[in-house]
Amino acid sequence: MAVTCSFRFETRTEDQVVELMDEHRHTAMVCRDCLVLLTVHRRVHHMKVENVIAEMAEPKLLVAEV
């Protein structure tokens, strides 16, 4: 099964994606490459990944209508 990464919007296979959940039950599917990026940013920049999960959980319009 193909899944879209919520961070880069790339299609990956199901075994290459993990599901992240914050305390408010927002969920986001993220590929392992993006998980590494998020982990490094959390450690180096003290970023709150929970806020990013909530942002990624919201549906986004990828193409604007003209």
Calculate the CA dihedral of residues 32, 43, 45, 42 and round it to 10 degrees: 40
Q: Locate the domains of the chain by residue range.
A: 2-57
Q: Tell the residue number behind the tokens 């039950």, with chain if given.
A: 25
pTM: 0.71
With 0-12 / 13-18 / 19 or more C-beta atoms within 10 angstroms meaning exposed / middle / buried, residue 49 is: middle
10-55 confidence digits (pLDDT tens): 999 999 999 999 888 889 999 999 999 988 888 888 878 888 888 8
CA–CA separation, 19 and 29 (whole Å): 5
